[in-house]
A and B are shown apart, each in its own frame.
Chain A
Amino acid sequence: MTQGTLYLASALILILIGLACALMRRNLLRMVLGFAIMDTGVHLLIATAGFLPGRTAPIIDDPSLLAGAGGRTAAADPSALLVAAERVVDPVPQALVLTAIVIGVGVTALMLAYVVRLFAREGTLDVSAFRRLKW
Chain B
Amino acid sequence: MVSPVLYIAVPLAVAFLLPLTGRGTSAGRRGAGRELQAAVLLFVLGSSLLWLRTFVAGAAPVVVSTGGWPPPLGINLRLGATESLLVALAAATALGVSVHAMLARPRGTAEGETVGHDRRPTLELLMFVGAAGLIMTRDVFNMFVFLEVSSIATYALAVAGEEGRGLEAGFKYMFLGAVGSVFILVSIAFLYRMTGTLNLDGMAAALSGAAPGIVGVALSFLLAGMAVELKLFPLNGPAIDLYEGVSPSVMALVGGTTVNAALYAFWKMQSLFAAVQWTYVIAAVGVVGFVVANALAVRQKSVRRMLGYSTSAQLGLAVFLLPFVATGFVSGRAVVLLIVNHTLCKAGLLWFAGAHGGETRRDWREAFARSPFAALAMTALVLGIAGLPPFPGFWGKWEALTALAGTAHAWWIAPVLAGSLLEFVYYFGWLRQMHSRGAEVSEKARADTSASPDAPVGPRPAFSYVFAAASLAVGLWFMRDLTGPVATPAFVLGAAGLLLLALRALPGRLLGAAALVAVAAAGWVLYSGGHAAPNETGGLFLAIVLGGSLMAAIAALGAAPARRSYHGLFLLLVSSLVLLVGSRTLLGFFVAWELMTWTSYLLVAEGRRASRGAYIYMLFSGAAGFLVFGGLLLLEGAGLTLLGAGGMAASLAAGTGTAVAWAAVLLGAGFAVKAASAGFHVWAPDAYSEAPDVFSAFLSGVVSKMPVFGLVLLGARLVEGAGPAGELLASLRATFGGVDPAYVLAWVGGVTALGMTILAALQEDAKRLLAYSSVGQIGYVVVGLAMLTPLGWSAALYHTVNHLLIKLLLFLAVAGVIHRTGTRNMHEMGGLIKKMPASYISVLIGIIALSGVPPLSGFAGKWLVYSALIEKGWYFIAGVTMFASPVAFLYLFRLIHNIFLGQLKPEHREVREAPLALLIPQGALVLAIMGLSMFPDALLKAVAGITGPVFGATGVSLLADGSLSVSLGYLNAFGVMSMVMALFALFFAFILFVGPKTKKVKQLDMVYSAELPPGPSEIHYSYDFYRPYKRAFAPLLRVSFVSGWGRVARAAAAVADAGRRFYSGDAQVYLVYAVAFLVVVALVRVVF
Contact = CB atoms under 8 A, between A and B. Distances in A.
Contacts of B245: 133
Given A42-B186, A49-B193, A114-B159, A131 B1066 contact: yes
A107 B179 CA distance: 11
Interface stretch (B475-483, B916-924, B1056-1064): B1056-1064
Contact of A133 (B182, B1060, B1065): B1065
A34 to B, nearest CB: 10
A14 to B, nearest CB: 11
Interface string A76-117: 000000000000000011001001100100110011001101
Nearest to A96: B141
A35 B189 CA distance: 18
A38 B179 contact: yes
A28 B172 CA distance: 11
Contacts of B96: none
Contact of B167 (A42, A103, A106, A114): A114
A134 B1072 CA distance: 16
A106 B175 contact: no
Contacts of B174: 107, 110-111, 114
Contact of B179 (A35, A46, A114, A128): A35
A80 to B, nearest CB: 20
A110 B156 contact: yes
Interface in A15-46: 15, 19, 22-24, 26, 28, 31, 35, 38-39, 42, 45-46
A107 B174 CA distance: 8
A40 to B, nearest CB: 10
B170 interface: yes
B498 interface: no
Contacts of A118: 167-168, 171
Nearest to B170: A114
B181 A117 contact: no
A133 B241 contact: yes
Contact of A22 (B148, B179, B1061): B179
Given A42-B185, A49-B192, A130 B1067 contact: yes
Contacts of A132: 165, 168, 1065
A42 B148 contact: no
Interface string B32-46: 000000000000000
Contact of B1068 (A23, A134, A135): A23
Interface string B243-271: 01100000000000000000000000000
A110 B179 contact: no
B368 to A, nearest CB: 27
Most buried by A among B192, B1060, B1063: B192
Contacts of B168: 118, 130, 132-133
A135 B1063 contact: yes
Interface string B980-1003: 000000000000000000000000
Given A38-B179, A111-B178, A121-B164, A134 B141 contact: no
A28 B241 CA distance: 18
B690 to A, nearest CB: 33
A96 B156 CA distance: 24
A100 B185 contact: yes
A131 B1065 contact: yes
Contacts of B1075: 19, 23
B198 interface: yes
A96 B164 CA distance: 37
Given A42-B186, A133-B244, A111 B1067 contact: no
B189 A45 contact: yes
Interface residues of B, number: 46
Contacts of B181: 103, 107
A127 interface: yes
Nearest to A115: B171
Contacts of B188: 46, 96
Contacts of A45: 185-186, 189
Contact of B241 (A23, A48, A134): A134
A50 B197 CA distance: 11
Interface string B178-204: 110110011011101100001000000
Given A23-B1071, A107-B152, A92 B159 contact: no
Contacts of B1067: 31, 127, 130
A103 B145 contact: yes
Given A19-B1075, A110-B152, A133 B169 contact: yes
B186 A134 contact: no
Nearest to A43: B185
Contact of B1061 (A117, A128, A130, A135): A135
A19 B183 CA distance: 11
Contacts of B165: 132-133
Contacts of B193: 48-50
B951 interface: no
Nearest to A111: B174
B155 interface: yes
Contact of B175 (A39, A103, A111, A131): A111
A15 B189 CA distance: 13
Contacts of A114: 155, 159, 167, 170-171, 174
A109 to B, nearest CB: 10
A103 B148 contact: yes
B837 to A, nearest CB: 62
Contacts of B300: 135
A35 B241 CA distance: 21
Nearest to B1057: A135
A38 to B, nearest CB: 5
Contacts of A22: 175, 179, 1068, 1071
In this complex, which of B144, B164, B179, B305 has the most chain A Cβ atoms within 10 angstroms of its Cβ? B179
Contacts of A135: 300, 305, 1060-1061, 1063, 1065
Contacts of B145: 99, 103
A15 B188 CA distance: 15
A35 B172 CA distance: 13
A5 B174 CA distance: 32
A48 B167 CA distance: 37
Interface in B266-300: 300
Contacts of A35: 175, 178-179, 182
Contact of A42 (B155, B189, B1064): B189
Contacts of A111: 171, 174-175, 178
A30 to B, nearest CB: 11
Contacts of A117: 159, 167
A77 B307 CA distance: 63
Nearest to A42: B185
A26 B1066 CA distance: 10
Contact of B1064 (A19, A46, A106, A134): A134
B141 to A, nearest CB: 5
Nearest to B141: A96
Contacts of B1061: 135
B189 A48 contact: yes
A124 B172 CA distance: 16
Contacts of B167: 114, 117-118, 121
A132 B1066 CA distance: 9
Nearest to B296: A135
Contacts of A31: 175, 1067-1068
- Max chain A C-beta neighbours (<10 A), residue from B152, B165, B186, B300: B186
Give me the 6 closest cross-chain CB pairs, A-B, nearest first. Answer: A134-B1065, A131-B1065, A133-B241, A49-B193, A135-B1060, A49-B189
Given A26-B1068, A100-B144, A107-B181, 9 more contacts: A31-B175, A35-B179, A39-B178, A46-B188, A96-B188, A114-B159, A121-B164, A133-B172, A134-B1065
